[in-house]
Structure 1
Amino acid sequence: MRIKVDFELCESNGLCEAMAPEVFELDDDDFLQLHAEHTTPENEDDVRRAVAACPRAAITLVEGDA
């Protein structure tokens, strides 16, 4: 699945980074960086938790690779 972040909605509060640090990271300026555009079998559960925890619903998962 493709990971999509709406950077206009993102508050950079770091909940996603806490749940899936291999995918999400806040840089030194507190801007969210996405390290992977797609989930893997190893990180899908963590990414789903990050999506559910995002207070602004800025992260979504899109079926397929498109």
Structure 2
Amino acid sequence: MALLITDECINCDVCEPECPNGAISQGDEIYIIDPALCTECVGHYDEPQCISVCPVDCIIVNPEHTESKEQLQAKYEKLSGK
């Protein structure tokens, strides 16, 4: 399951540097998460770092990109070359 930043985002800039996969970037109005790069921090951390630092709790599971832990692990391995 890739994550999604909702329109409650206040553009505080704390999530982007926390993403180990570089999946978060500034969109037209708010930050966005690239589902092709988001592993919910599987392979890096026990929990998604963007969610843990977000001061307004605007990061949710993206219902259009549901993946199992195994799929997220496989994506991590592909992205990291492992």
Under TM normalisation by the shorter chain, which class is it?
0.5 to 0.7
Deviation of the 1:61 alpha carbon: 3.2
Name the % identity. 16
RMSD: 3.3
- The structure that is strand-richer by fraction is 1
Detail structure 1 runs of 4+ shifted over 6 Å in the superposition.
Answer: none
Q: How many residues were matched structurally?
A: 63
Q: Quick check: 2:5–2:31 contact (8 Å CA) kept in 1?
A: no
Unaligned residue ranges in structure 2 (runs of 5+): 68-82
Deviation of the 1:31 alpha carbon: 2.9
Deviation of the 1:30 alpha carbon: 6.1
Name the CA distance, whole Å, in 1 between partners of 2:46 and 2:35. Answer: 13
Unaligned residue ranges in structure 1 (runs of 5+): none
| TM score, norm. by length of structure 1 | 0.64
| TM score, norm. by length of structure 2 | 0.54
2:2 counterpart residue number: 2
Which structure has the larger Rg? 2
Amino acid at match of 1:15: V
